[in-house]
Amino acid sequence: MPYDTIVLITGAKTGIGKGLLATYAQRPNTLAIAAIRDGPDSSPAQTLTSLSVGEGSKVLVAKYDAGSPTAAEELANDLRDKYEITHLDVVIANAGILKAYGPARTVKFEDLQEHLLINTIAPILLYQQTAPLLEHSKQETPRFFIISSTLGSNALMDNYPLQLIAYGMSKAAVNFAAGRIHREEERIAIIPVQPGWVQTAMGEKAAAFAGMEAKDVPTTLEESVSGLMKVFDGATKEGQSGRFWDQEGKEVPW
């Protein structure tokens, strides 16, 4: 039986990515593809393929390492050749890092490079490789989402005084890329989305850097995923594409 929706999520092993994967998988007639660094033969893959699924639905695990310049091409080739997937309806570029903390005076070249590679360049390469599959979607609006952050908003910089230049730059750059790609695509919606400051390993590390306790991180994983799903389901080319949104469906200034 053909699937009503085929969704690809990178960085789906833990946190927001896993939460989105599990939510999509519980819907009927949905193929939820988890693209993870560990690959399909790993113990994390076994955990993901054991998730509860809806009627006619399935979780599939594919290999994808956002830090590799060839990963997106290899993933797209596997989807077509190994898994015989001819189209995608939704792609969520969720894989990302937040590893460098501190002021601009001391940030290392290697940290700037790694954040830009994984948080900015990798989503662009993923778009390039998945766009032909999204073009074959039978849905009215094939959608490409990027999990971004308000820490990449120049307009909101005074609201978030954390010294995270590598991370913030990488998210600002990927937001620009989304806006540029939106203007070049006639049908595919390209949308960066802020998931909230979420109670995940990444969110809790940022809290520790800010002198907060993990319990003070404001958004639960369940709240984030639920809000993101509403944004994803309601997104259109005319309404949301090329603009920056948060998990509550509010537009975020650049």
Residue 121 has pLDDT above 70, yes or no: yes
Is residue 233 in some structural domain? yes
- The helix/strand/coil state of 68 is coil
Is residue 176 in some structural domain? yes
Cβ atoms of 115 and 96 closer than 8 Å:
no
Share of the chain above pLDDT 90, in %: 88
With bands split at pLDDT 50, 70 and 90, how would you rate the model's confidence at 218?
confident
**Per-residue confidence (pLDDT) for residue 129, from 0 to 100:** 98
Distance CA(86)–CA(104), nearest Å, equals 45
Residue 148 has pLDDT above 90, yes or no: yes
Is residue 53 in some structural domain? yes
Q: How many CA atoms lie within 13 A of 228 on its CB side?
A: 30
Distance CA(34)–CA(214), nearest Å, equals 27
Residues forming the active site:
167, 171
Residue 46 neighbours by CB under 8 Å, 6+ apart: none
With bands split at pLDDT 50, 70 and 90, how would you rate the model's confidence at 206?
confident
Is residue 184 in some structural domain? yes
Beta carbons within 10 angstroms of residue 117's beta carbon: 17
Distance CA(240)–CA(251), nearest Å, equals 9
Q: What is the CATH number for 176? A: 3.40.50.720
Residue 1 has pLDDT above 70, yes or no: no
Is residue 251 in some structural domain? no
Neighbour order of strands in the sheet with 143-147? 58-63, 30-36, 5-10, 90-93, 143-147, 189-194, 245-246
Is residue 252 in some structural domain? no
Average pLDDT value for residue range 11-34: 97
Average pLDDT value for residue range 56-81: 98
Is residue 112 in some structural domain? yes
The whole domain housing 107 covers: 5-246
Return the minimum-mean-pLDDT range out of 67-76, 186-195, 207-216: 207-216
Is residue 253 in some structural domain? no
Domain total for the chain?
A: 1
